[in-house]
Amino acid sequence: MTLNAPMKAPLNVLFLCTHNSARSILAEALLNHMGQGRFKAFSAGSSPRANQQPHPLGLKALQQAGIAIEGLRSKTWDEFALPDAPHMDLIITVCDNAAGEICPYWPGNPATAHWGYADPSAGDASDALKEVAFAQTLIAIKLRLEMLMNLPVERLDAMSLQGTARQLAHSNGA
């Protein structure tokens, strides 16, 4: 049985990064685009800067891939630790800095994993080179999300999700 079988409710996935402007935004938009109602993605940062916005080159990469960018915004992870926040089933850090930080308490004890990606916005490369880096990061995230989405339903239950998500961290989709 694969994820094409109906599920009771979407699997809520929170992608975390330090500033919530690049990798976590890409992952949120991609999974919501690909998830077909079986997944609901969110993203947040451990310490987004004041007035932080999604990186323009990340938004451009998403648009070029035909993925909607409406409603994407940088948020603090504190929003998802509140009592009225959506219950998360899986929390994935997508940058090494966020993976090493002490996270807030997540209600419901969700599964966690780290899927590290290099920051496509880092450094002083030209915008043209950064555009390529964003496109490559988008592809890398997409490959891993496709593997997650194609897992059998029994690998996505609460007891199995922790190990399953962590195994995917070591897969490059090839």
The answer to whether 5 touches 44, Cβ cutoff 8 Å, is no
Over residues 76-97, the mean pLDDT reads 88
* Whether residue 59 has pLDDT greater than 50: yes
- Reading the block at residue 106, the tokens are 């997540």
Pairing label, strands 90-93, 39-45 = unpaired
Q: Which ranges in 80-126 belong to alpha helices (H)? A: 96-99
CATH of domain 11-158: 3.40.50.2300
Rounded CA-CA distance 55/134 in Å is 10
Phi, psi of 168 (to 5 degrees): -65, -25
Spell out the domain ranges in the chain.
11-158
Are the C-beta atoms of residues 15 and 47 closer than 8 Å to each other? no
pLDDT, one tens digit per residue, over 88-141 is 999 999 987 755 666 777 777 888 889 999 999 988 999 999 999 999 999 999
User: What's the start-to-end Cα distance of the chain, in Å?
Assistant: 23
Percent over 90 (pLDDT), the chain: 56
